Structure formats: C-alpha cells, structure tokens
Amino acid sequence: DAATPLQFPIPANVFAEKVVSVKHYTDRLFSFRITRPQSLRFRSGEFVMIGLPNAEKPVYRAYSVASPAWDEELEFFSIKVPDGPLTQHLQKIQPGDTILMRHKATGTLVLDALTPAKRLFMISTGTGIAPFASLLRDPDTYEKFEHVYLTHTCRDVAELAYGQELVAALAEDPLIGEFTNGRVTLYNSTTRETSERMGRITALVGSGKFYTDLGIEPLNPETDRIMICGSMHMLKDVKEMAESLGFVEGSLSAPATFVVERAFVG
Ligand code: A2P
C-alpha cells in the first residue's frame, strides 16, 4: 500500500487484516471495519487485541468487537487520544491499511455469563457501547431476553450518534430485524453538553427518573440482568449500584445476574 508503507515485517502469530472503511463521529470518536480472519472465532461481546505494523514491537490494545459473531467483517468503535500510544496512529487509518490482531478473543460481557431472565439492561458510556453493538446484532440475545434496554451516556450530543445509528439500523437489518422489532429501547443522556436528557446513568437510575422516563418497573434481580461497559470510574459506580440492588456478578464458570467489562482506551 503506497499510502502506508510497511516499514516493519508482520510479527509471527498475529493476523494481518485490511481496513475496509472508517467513519469519524467527532474529534474524539471514530469507528472502523476490517476484514475478518477466516479462523477467528469469538462470542458476541468479547474483545481482541489490535495494533499497527508501525514498530518492531507493535503496541496492542484491547478492543471490543462491535460487530456480531456472524458478520464477515469486524467493526470497532474507538476513542482518539492525541498522545495515546496506539490511537494517535490508529485514528489516521485509511481503507487498505493493515491492522494487526492477536489470535485470541476473550471477555466477560457474554450472554453465557448471565442466567436467563426477562429484561436485559446494557449500561454504557462513551466507547463502552461497542460490545453491546455486537450483542444487539446477535439473534441469541433475543432468544434469551424478551426486551433489551441500552443506555448510552456521553459528554456531548454528537457522541451519541453511533448508538443512535446502530439502534435505528436494527429494524432494517435483514438478518436481525425480525427479532428486534419493538424489543430494543435506547436511553441516551449527556453530561456536559445541554440536551433533552442530562445526567450520569447512576444519577438517573438513583433518582428514579430512568424508570419514569421509560415507564418501566425498577431494576430487579428476579426479572433482570445487567451488562456494564465504560470507563474505570463508571464501572466501579455502576457495579456498586447493581450490587446495592441485589445483583450478583457472573462469569462463564458461574453465571449470575450481572457482568462488567472495562472499556479500553490508549
Ligand atoms: P461526566 O461528563 O460527568 O464525567 P468519558 O468520555 O470520560 O469516558 O465519559 C463518558 C461518559 O461517562 C460521560 O458522560 C461521563 O460523565 C460519564 N461518566 C464518567 N464517570 C462516570 C461514573 N463514575 N459513573 C457514571 N458515569 C460516568
């Protein structure tokens, strides 16, 4: 590729994939799609380690796969950190560029780590929406749960666009549209830019506004499951909130009523 010459050989034991498309949402957020290695297996909601072939020892960062397990491409949703070891370069990728990816996918935000229930609440901030973009496009989610509530809180209105487009596209999706019909509710808020609904999700749930806005019964471990993805502080606070409501953290070896994954930046 003339635009981005590979100055370093591709390391052994990693996939070398091609960028298919890039979409910039704001000066802080962008999404991109890459080719999918034939042999990659993952569960919707898991993450992979990705890097760029721009150093002898490439920097790898964990990225939740935002596309569902059945998709023939891989999608990611990323922050742009001006001096981030990976994202300062990653934010400049163009179609045709090479992305490195380690072979193994893993993670805790998977359906099998939750016991069955009626309602699934996906609580996200910023790029933490990525694993839910995968799960929302997976038919298994709708086989397991009757209704899915996706909350997405960002600093600014423009940062909400990725999730709004995602949910709007579900209904028209030829593969998933029939499952999602009327069964997904998006709940947005901003914390820094003035918008129709403001506040952190912890505050909105805490005050009860979340329930009155949606006209739903309060969170209840008898009927509900929670998945949480966002920054370190957000995870800590939402996890505490879930535990205070009687939810218990689950894993693949011991499925229970909520799961947590940190959103990865760098
Ligand atoms: P705030 O603007 O009040 O910090 P970021 O882009 O920094 O990851 O933040 C994404 C969103 O997550 C912001 O709206 C931010 O609100 C919110 N947030 C940050 N910390 C927490 C927390 N501890 N609990 C809930 N939401 C949080």
How many angstroms is it from 53 CA to the middle of ligand 1?
32
Ligand 1 centroid to residue 216 C-alpha, Å: 24
Q: Residue 261's pLDDT is what?
A: 87
Q: Average pLDDT per run of 10 along the chain, which is 266 residues long?
A: 64 94 97 96 96 91 95 96 95 97 95 97 97 97 97 98 97 90 96 97 98 98 98 96 98 96 58
Place of tokens 């918008």: 195
pLDDT, position 263:
54
Please state, in angstroms and rounded to a whole number, the distance separating the CA atoms of residues 19 and 11: 18
Identify the residue whose C-alpha is closest to ligand 1 atom 6. 126
ipTM of predicted complex: 0.98
**Cβ 29 under 6 angstroms from ligand 1:** no
Which of 27, 87, 153, 226, when mutated, tests ligand 1's pocket best, judged by the most ligand atoms within 8 Å of its CB?
153
Which helix (H) or strand (E) segment is 62 a member of? strand 61-64
Q: How far apart are CA 85 and CA 263, in angstroms?
A: 16
200 lines ligand 1 (CB under 6 A): yes
Ligand 1 centre from 145 Cα, in Å? 27
Q: What is the pLDDT of residue 43?
A: 95
User: Which residue ranges make up each domain of the chain?
Assistant: 14-102, 111-262
Ligand 1 atom closest to the CA of 263, numbered from 1: 8
CATH class of residue range 111-262: alpha beta
Nearest CA to ligand 1 atom 27: 234
Three-class DSSP category at 245: coil
Residue-level pLDDT at 264: 56
Q: What is the CATH number of domain 14-102?
A: 2.40.30.10
Can 14-102 and 111-262 be said to share one CATH topology?
no
How far is the C-alpha of 237 from the C-alpha of 212, rounded, in Å? 21
